[in-house]
Amino acid sequence: MDADVIVVGAGPVGLFLAAELKLAGVEPLVLERLKTPSEEPKARGLGALATEALWRRGLGEQLAKADVEGTKDLARDHGSTRGHFANIFKIVPREDRPRTNIWQPELERVLAGHAAGVRVLRGHGVTAVESDVDGVTVTAEKAWRAKYVVGCDGGRSTVRKLAGFEFPGTPALLRTIAGQVRFAGEVPPAGRYPGGAFLHGGSMVGTTEPAANPEPVTTADFAASVRRITGADVVVEEFREERRFGDQARQVPGYRRGRVFLAGDAAHVHSPSGGQGLNLGLLDAANLGWKLGAVLRGEKPETFLDTYTRERHPAGEAVLRNTRAQSALLAPGPHVDALREIVAEVMDLPEANRYFADLLSGVRDRYDFPYPAPKPAGEHCPDVEIVDTDGHESRLHEHTRTGRGLLLTSDHVTEPRVDVVSATNTGPLLLRPDGVIAWAGEGSPATALDTWF
């Protein structure tokens, strides 16, 4: 074996998964097609659950630093630091479950530093994946052997195709041309027009397109698209990082086929509306990493890995649902204009506003457990304050860097399977390594301990 787990793709999800595997005491190997990291400024924000997951691993200071600049950029580009649903910028961020405004290349640098002890081979595009009873052979330049492979290779995932995963869903409703644009002279205002939308998102500018077009996008196409939508003749001096993308929403029915797993965009694609892709993908990695570790260390049976699909598929489904709803609200036409006005009015109601914030952050997602587990069991634990028996104050994320489970209790308990932290103001709580509450104080934690550890 060249490694315990081969991770295909050194995007954010692959890097975080590899670091989680290392922390779990198993040996990952990352194979990445690109020779150097991508500087494409895709995502600019990280949802609350992913923010908390990275804080739990000691990356909080770096995120907080990046957030200062990221928030300034957001205010400059959108005239607001509020979140949006279908470009209705009204969502008040939750102070107790903060997101991070960070550009994706910066996030990938932070994650690459975090995964510094992991073998990452760049310039190694995977072209074949074959499973047998003992392991998997992954071909990238040469053949590599491991027990498992995880495709974290993005929306067009080669691993997904090679391993024969189905990828059902809905085709694109809206198609966009986008790129980094420098105009000379007058630029029409951004917004909705009768025939489509003209979008400014900082250096990225886009227009919606009436039909699919498989051809590469040119500067002339872009200028013609702006004219078609706004009626204005623009002069485009520079058009870089150009691309066409659609808001198709697809998800694999199961995230595992034998020894092959998928995580991140490889398992689910949807429109970028509401900035949820990273939140979803990094949480896939957080969910899968410790479980693979437990199985590879021989502490859990193979079937334990099936809980990965059981828990993460519904989370993906929920994002596909809300991004489809956002696409419907972004379509052109007077009927949608009227619907948008009504949704915007509803968002002014504080309770509704909180609903949209929670919907996009995933904090309402709750895993189903195979044992009776009253709320908040199944939810991701926020970064709570902890006061120990000596009155010393700390926060949850200061106790989670080991990547082990955690029992927060005011009792003097010895439990070798997890770390035990004295807490008089919260709990008792049993947390899994991915920050999910496994048990919350009712009865004994024995069943929860046996199930997860």
Ligand X SMILES: Cc1cc2nc3c(=O)[nH]c(=O)nc-3n(C[C@H](O)[C@H](O)[C@H](O)COP(=O)(O)OP(=O)(O)OC[C@H]3O[C@@H](n4cnc5c(N)ncnc54)[C@H](O)[C@@H]3O)c2cc1C
Residues that bind ligand X (CB under 6 A): 8-14, 31-34, 38, 42-45, 104, 125-126, 152-154, 158, 245, 264-265, 272, 275-279, 281
Kindly state the tokens that stand for 396.
Answer: 């949850």
What does 139-158 look like in DSSP terms, one character per residue? EESEEEEESEEEE---TT-H
Question: Which residues pair with residue 387 across a beta bridge?
Answer: 393
Q: Which is nearer to ligand X, 60 or 427 (CB)?
A: 60
Nearer to ligand X, 52 or 419 (CB): 52
Q: How far is the CB of 376 from ligand X (least distance, A)?
A: 24
According to DSSP, the β-strands at 5-8 and 28-32 are parallel
In angstroms, give the least distance from the CB of 162 to ligand X.
9
Residue (365 or 419) nearer to ligand X, CB: 365
Residue closer to ligand X (CB basis): 98 or 154: 154
> Rounded to whole angstroms, how far apart are CA atoms 397 and 73?
27
Nearer to ligand X, 43 or 91 (CB): 43
> Smaller CB distance to ligand X: residue 241 or 388?
241
Q: How far is the CB of 362 from ligand X (least distance, A)?
A: 11
Beta carbons of 217 and 177 less than 8 angstroms apart: yes
Provide the 3-class DSSP secondary structure of residue 194.
coil
Q: Is 269 helix (H, G, I), strand (E, B) or coil?
A: strand
How far is Cα 362 from Cα 236, in angstroms, rounded to an integer? Answer: 39
Do residues 139 and 78 lie in contact, with contact meaning Cβ atoms separated by under 8 Å? no
Helix (H) or strand (E) holding 289: helix 277-296
Other C-beta atoms within 10 Å of 434: how many?
26
Q: How far is the CB of 339 from ligand X (least distance, A)?
A: 24
How far apart CA 114 and CA 282 sit, in angstroms, is 14
Q: How far is the CB of 190 from ligand X (least distance, A)?
A: 15
Q: Do residues 114 and 59 make contact, with C-beta atoms less than 8 angstroms apart?
A: yes
CB of 10 to ligand X, least distance (A): 5
Cα-Cα-Cα-Cα torsion 254, 257, 261, 265, nearest 10 degrees, comes to -50
388, HSE (Cβ side, Cα atoms, 13 Å): 13
CB of 387 to ligand X, least distance (A): 33
Burial of 137: CB neighbours in 10 Å, binned 0-12, 13-18, 19+? middle
| Residue with Cβ nearer ligand X (70 or 293) | 70
Going by DSSP bridges, is the β-strand pair 148-151/260-262 parallel, antiparallel, or unpaired?
A: parallel
Nearest distance from residue 218's CB to ligand X, in Å? Answer: 19
Count other Cβ atoms within 10 Å, centred on residue 335: 9
Output the smallest distance, CB 158 to ligand X, in A: 4
Residue number with CB closer to ligand X (20 or 32): 32
Comparing C-alpha atoms, which of 379, 357, 356 is closest to residue 369?
379
Question: Toward ligand X, which CB reaches closer, 245 or 355?
Answer: 245
From the CB of 164, what's the least distance to ligand X, in Å?
A: 16
Return the closest-CA partner of residue 66 out of 77, 48, 51. 51
Residue nearer to ligand X on the CB measure, 250 or 404: 250
d(CA 410, CA 422): 5
